[in-house]
Amino acid sequence: MISIKSEREIELLRIAGKVVGDTHHYLEPFIKPGITTAELDKLAEDYIRSRGCTPSFKGLYGFPGSVCISLNEEVVHGIPGKRKIKEGDIISIDIGACWKGYHGDSAWTYPVGKISKEKQELLEHTEKALFEGLSMIHDGAHVGDIGYAVEQYALKHHLGVVKELVGHGVGSKVHEDPDVPNYGKMHTGPVLKEGMVIAVEPMLNLGTADVFMLDDDWTVVTADDKPSAHFEHTVLVTKDGYEIMTKR
Ligand code: MG
Ligand code: MG
């Protein structure tokens, strides 16, 4: 069932989303060659807690980190650790924060120093694909409209669309109904209603759409080792459009 949020719930979700957006903003200057992903994770957790929230992903299904940090060919769910990031990497940071039982969820992919032209284009196109998907949202639209817009944009730019992982509803659980795939057909899937809150999160690859999971049972990587990008916002469905809750 897809829940319609009350005014009170929407207020709590706005606060959680604001902390997620602010955490991204806070972390960005630290994304420099030489820092480890564990250090970034610690900075994120301390910041989230300093705002009175808890990191939504810590312990979620047993995840060991506070945020997910995925480098280059890693698509999502990378576990923070001793690895140092280096010039030319791209780093996807997926952040969740919980305020009084309600969550915000947003991922962003950042360049580390100077990156290749093809990685730069991957980042630009994946961010644009997110906004193409969001542009379909309003009361009465279908979930399939979002996936259709993301997929068509990605295909036009010859990028692989990851299908194994999808966006989702957000509320008192990080992952609620409905699934919000990054592919689909117009006028199919559940109907969006004012007051629903969903996370839209295209994961696009420079090469094949195929992915597999590493032996750590968390990290999802591209099958051809080419880079992948991930951009995500949590949004409130409104009568005429949407409100981004995880704005930076
Ligand atoms: Mg996320
Ligand atoms: Mg999400």
Q: Which residues of the chain have pLDDT under 50?
A: none
Q: Is 1 exposed, middle or buried (CB count within 10 Å of its CB: 0-12, 13-18, 19+)? A: exposed
pLDDT at 25: 98
Q: Could you say which ligand is closest to the alpha carbon of residue 75? A: 1
Q: Could you tell me the distance, in angstroms and rounded to a whole number, from the CA of residue 170 to the centre of ligand 2?
A: 8
Residue 248 confidence (pLDDT): 85
Q: Residue 118 Cα, ligand 1 centroid: separation in angstroms?
A: 24
* Number of residues that this document lists for the chain: 248
**Span from the CA of 120 to the centroid of ligand 1 (angstroms):** 21
Distance from residue 169's CA to the centre of ligand 1 (Å): 11
From the CA of 16, how far away is ligand 2's center (Å)?
14
Dihedral angle of Cα 165, 160, 184, 220, to the nearest 10 degrees:
-10
Q: How far apart are CA 150 and CA 136, in angstroms?
A: 10
- Express each pLDDT in 37-55 by its tens digit: 999 999 999 999 999 999 9
Ligand number nearest CA of 182 is 2
Ligand nearest to the CA of 174: 2
Q: Nearest ligand to the C-alpha of residue 67?
A: 1
Q: Give the number of other Cβ atoms within 10 Å of residue 220's Cβ.
A: 21
Nearest 10 degrees: Cα torsion 225, 147, 244, 229? 10
- Which is nearest to 246 in space by CA: 134, 113, 78, 140? 134
Local structure of 123: helix, strand or coil: helix
C-alpha of residue 105 to centroid of ligand 1, in Å: 5
d(CA 175, CA 167): 9
* Among the bound ligands, the one closest to the CA of 106: 1
Q: What is the DSSP letter of 218?
A: S
Is the bond leading into 55 cis (omega within 30 degrees of zero)? no
Q: Which ligand is nearest to the CA of 235?
A: 2
28 CB neighbour count, 10 Å cutoff: 12
- The Cα-based distances of 199 to 9, 163, 187, 224 in angstroms read 16, 15, 19, 27
Cα(174) to centroid of ligand 1, in Å? 9
User: 105 CA distance to ligand 2 centroid (A)?
Assistant: 5
Does CATH place domain 7-244 in 3.90.230.10? yes
Residues 188-200 have pLDDT tens digits of: 999 999 999 999 9
> 232 CA to middle of ligand 2, Å?
7
The whole-angstrom separation of Cα 122 and Cα 227 is 8
Instruction: Identify the nearest ligand to the CA of 200 by its number.
Output: 2
What's the gap in Å between 127 CA and the centre of ligand 2? 15
